[in-house]
Structure 1
Amino acid sequence: MHSTRTDRRSTRYTLRLAAAALVSLAAAAPAFAQSTIADLAKYDGADRMEKLIAGAKQEGTLTIYTSTPVDDINAITDAFTKKYGIKVDVWRGSSEDLLTRGVTETKAGRYTADVYETDGPGLEALTREQMLQPVSSPTFKQLMPQAVQDHNNWVGTRLNVMTSAYNTNLVDASSVPKTWTDFLDPQWKGKLGVEAEDYDWMAAIVKRFPSEQEGLDFFRKLVSTNGLSVRSGHTLLTNLVASGEVPLSMTVYEYKAQQLKADGAPVDWFGISPIPSRVNGIGVSAHATHPNAALLLQEFEMTDAQAILVKRGFTATNLTLFPLPKGVSLDVIDSKVVLDEGKKWQDLFEKIVLQQQK
């Protein structure tokens, strides 16, 4: 009996020691795991990545809402999971659907998304809804200035460069326009195309002229003399250039034209500098339920994923890893301006370009 009581006391003592050890570990080990999203987001110590990785592994998963094409987002999330062992649940929709879903859920107190990934204006809209968390990251210093917002609620991870493309069987490379007014040349009558929602591109071009009025007059003259074939979707438009149905499109995404060219299609692209470019990026939810994993994914997209994006034809924003080619000048469209002036330019695009096609 004495031995049994001793064993029991020993067991109770051992359990108390174990409990004390667990309390001690709980105070030290979780580090970031029990911190608030605000604490995590502003921490920029030398061990930031180490802490994020440890916390993310404890969380084990995260959810991303994205408008990125399926193949592109899968390439990123698969690589992230392979490196860190963290599962990524993906919900994908259009930028508009993403905004609607995110805002509706947040107002209802449902916080499913840990990360939002979409175009710059969409992320700026989420910022104005106070749905994104300001983040402080040493990696921001590696990015092009236009990718980092002054409020730090989101960051640009890649650019869609809006170039022109032409069918090499129908258009001689030596004849492609060198300036915007070259598009007024009669040789382009009935040969030009444009995407149906590129109002922000038109705004960027208009602002190259000495006055807004002169820029708008350029587009009015272009439409009335040479005409513009308006098509919905940049991928469709690029394919129509390859088929010859649209000999020259004023607006395509450079990466898509380059992909078709690499596949042997009779397509080439050119740009009139500075080339208008749209920024896409990532923001961490201010209500993220997996904050460490969310911040870790943002870091991943600014670093490791840049090579994945470049391989898939996007222009990286991390200039330390992928400097722009010599002589290339980009005009990154300001997402705030698109939100603030979007209605004005949508109306002008509708009146000058779209209505003339009806």
Structure 2
Amino acid sequence: MGVFSLAAGSVVLAACGGSGLSSASQKAAKLTSAGNLTELEKTAKSEGTLTLYTAIQTEQAQPWVEKFTKKYGIEVKILRLSSADLGTTFQTQEQAGKNKGDVLQTSNLAQLKEFQGKGWLAHYTPAAAHLYPADRVVAGYFYPLYQSNGAIAWNTKVTPADVQKVLVDDPYQGLLDPSMKGKIVLIDPSNGGSGMAYYANMIVNYPDQYGWSYLEKLAAQEPAISESIASISQQVSAGTYYATNFGDEAIFGPLAYDGAPLQFSSLETMNATQFMQAIPSDAPHPAAARLFSEWSSSLAGQQAMTASTGGESSIKGWQDNVAYAEKLDWYQPPKNSWLEWRTDPRFQGDQLETFLEKWKSVFHMSS
């Protein structure tokens, strides 16, 4: 058995009501916590598979979940979409009564809370729940995966040397250099929480230096705009574009460690992304979903996850095993990781829509 990646259009919407579940799986679907992990494992193995709905890059998620498959023999299918598209897909399926996801992973905390309010997420507490800081969990519903700090990244082969010196000390100012005009690719904040957070950090924490007036100057640099995290990292690595404002450490760190001509830098206070995990209340394979929750939230699962994703874990006892953190002699993490954007009302609901519309106006994007 192995790990499979599903293209966005390949997910079959098929009804998965409780009548199709074995009695053991029906019992597992009602669990709020695991009293008998041996029985849970037995039932999960009888289900034989689970589908992971995730906003984590496939190439990062796959080596991680392969360890779960190796340990339990349970096949994992991966549907990877941006947080925004993932939320839309999950919501559409839930409204049609045809959810196919067993585990949901996203950086959009507000959306998870919305799904919780609709009764779409199962109440389940993994055994390792007490090892996480209380402010990182929504008790009984969703628990943290990895955190990744934001950064501005650039290609060290094509970016002029004098500009690189500025990028190290003042990355946003470096993006305004005349030589960077038409050579920058920016993340579209509509792609999901992690993309929006970059601009939110600038507006909230650096309004005078990097607020809307700065963004107007950045727009005058005629940047490309992309919704795809994967294409951004590929384009900057290849030198198609010199730099990007979406230089997440967990994405660009491993690439630089593996030899790509990349470097990144951040502000003293920088937005950070926290991926969270939940179980749909109508998961087609409820025992496998709960077993994955148990494994992935354990210290061993978290160590395996961060080794694969390049992020940081908040679980008690975690030891930093992110290779690039020690091997890249220029690496400096931000002093302050800003996660508060996740619950800031200015970036939720109607206020978020107003924010996005203003961003589109500044960058001359059609609504």
User: Equivalents in 1 of 2:73, 2:244: separation in Å?
Assistant: 43
- Cα deviation for residue 228 of structure 1 reads 4.9
Q: Which amino acid aligns with 2:204?
A: K
1:299-310 → structure 2 map (5 Å cutoff) = 299-303=294-298, 304-310=300-306
Give the match for residue 261 of structure 1.
Answer: 256
Q: Which amino acid aligns with 2:32?
A: A
1:294-333 → structure 2 map (5 Å cutoff) = 294-303=289-298, 304-319=300-315, 320-323=317-320, 328=334, 329-332=336-339
The superposition leaves residues 163-195 of structure 1 with CA deviations (integer Å, 9 ceiling, x where unpaired) of 111232423554325357745865676265422
User: Equivalents in 2 of 1:287, 1:103: separation in Å?
Assistant: 13
1:143-182 → structure 2 map (5 Å cutoff) = 143=132, 147-149=136-138, 152-169=140-157, 170-172=160-162, 173-176=164-167, 178-179=169-170, 182=173
On the 8 A contact 1:143/1:317 being kept in 2, the answer is no
- Cα deviation for residue 77 of structure 1 reads 3.2
Q: 1:94 to 1:267 in 2, by over 3 A?
A: closer
- Cα deviation for residue 116 of structure 1 reads 1.9
User: Equivalents in 1 of 2:68, 2:168: separation in Å?
Assistant: 42
1:1-358 → structure 2 map (5 Å cutoff) = 35=27, 37-38=29-30, 40-42=31-33, 49-121=37-109, 122-143=111-132, 147-149=136-138, 152-169=140-157, 170-172=160-162, 173-176=164-167, 178-179=169-170, 182-183=173-174, 190=181, 192-197=184-189, 198-209=195-206, 215-224=211-220, 227-232=221-226, 233-303=228-298, 304-319=300-315, 320-323=317-320, 328=334, 329-332=336-339, 334-337=341-344, 338-340=347-349, 341-355=351-365
Q: 284-293 or 119-128: which moved more? A: 119-128
Q: Which amino acid aligns with 1:134?
A: H
The superposition leaves residues 281-337 of structure 1 with CA deviations (integer Å, 9 ceiling, x where unpaired) of 321111234323211111222233433332334313244314597965322254444
Give the match for residue 7 of structure 1.
Answer: none
Count, aligned residues: 319
The superposition leaves residues 120-174 of structure 1 with CA deviations (integer Å, 9 ceiling, x where unpaired) of 255344334321113323423333555413x542223123432111232423554
Q: 95-104 or 264-273: which moved more? A: 95-104
Q: Which amino acid aligns with 1:230?
A: A
The superposition leaves residues 85-138 of structure 1 with CA deviations (integer Å, 9 ceiling, x where unpaired) of 233344455545543443343334345332223332553443343211133234
On the 8 A contact 1:165/1:270 being kept in 2, the answer is yes
Q: 1:354 to 1:135 in 2, by over 3 A?
A: farther
User: Equivalents in 1 of 2:49, 2:240: separation in Å?
Assistant: 46
Q: 1:64 to 1:262 in 2, by over 3 A?
A: closer
* TM-score normalised by length of structure 1: 0.73
The superposition leaves residues 11-61 of structure 1 with CA deviations (integer Å, 9 ceiling, x where unpaired) of xxxxxxxxxxxxxxxxxxx998663634x2245xxx554453244234444
* Structure 1 residues without counterparts, runs of 5 or longer: 1-29
* TM-score normalised by length of structure 2: 0.71
Q: How many percent of aligned residue pairs carry the same amino acid?
A: 20
Q: Which amino acid aligns with 2:70?
A: K
Q: Which amino acid aligns with 1:229?
A: P
User: Equivalents in 2 of 1:279, 1:285: separation in Å?
Assistant: 19
On the 8 A contact 2:51/2:103 being kept in 1, the answer is yes
SS in 2 for 1:286: coil
Q: 1:140 to 1:174 in 2, by over 3 A?
A: farther
Decide which structure has the larger Cα Rg and report it: 1
On the 8 A contact 2:126/2:297 being kept in 1, the answer is no
SS in 2 for 1:307: helix
SS in 1 for 2:27: coil
Give the match for residue 9 of structure 2.
Answer: none
Give the match for residue 11 of structure 2.
Answer: none
SS in 1 for 2:151: strand
On the 8 A contact 2:176/2:217 being kept in 1, the answer is no
User: Equivalents in 2 of 1:174, 1:141: separation in Å?
Assistant: 44
Q: Which amino acid aligns with 1:292?
A: A
Q: 1:145 to 1:163 in 2, by over 3 A?
A: farther
Q: 1:300 to 1:181 in 2, by over 3 A?
A: same
User: Equivalents in 2 of 1:313, 1:89: separation in Å?
Assistant: 18
Q: Which amino acid aligns with 2:216?
A: R
